[in-house]
Amino acid sequence: MLHQIDEISGIGLHLDLVLRKVQDAYLRKFQELNLDLTIEQWVILYRIYQLEDKASQSDIVKSNFRNRATTSRVIGKLENKGWISKTRFEGDMKRFKLELTQQGRAVVNTIEPHANQLRKKAIKGLDVLEFETFLKVLDQIGDNYSSV
């Protein structure tokens, strides 16, 4: 069966189709909430929220799996929207400190309950073992490509 799936359309196509459905669900929710927000902006905004006062631009680059230029561009757009502020860490003038503004925190607070519902929807009908197996399989696929 696995051989047939790969012959028919490839694993990348299946992963891409699912990823597009997930992204579309989030984008529809952002539109419904009248928020001018992309997936990448949400990921970075939420990561800054999670890291709180420890969020640095270099940490975001490392955890976002995007290159430095792309991440810097997205951070700039979030800053232009007034959702984050960018300063230097005290005593460390090399690193940029990223913090949510009051407006940025309001955006996160608006989206977070909806994002949690979307996450629950994603695992609906799966038991814990199935989900753990799914994550293990995804990790293995990722590891297989890491060695290429």
Region 38-146: CATH code: 1.10.10.10
Q: What is the mean pLDDT of residues 20-28?
A: 96
CA dist., res. 118 & res. 106, Å (int): 19
- The predicted model gives 35-59 an average pLDDT of 91
At residue 88, the pLDDT reads: 82
The percent of residues in the chain predicted with pLDDT above 90, rounded, is 59
Contact between 46 and 67 under an 8 Å Cβ cutoff? The reply is no
Mean residue pLDDT across the chain: 88
Q: Which pLDDT band, with edges at 50, 70 and 90, does 5 fall under?
A: low
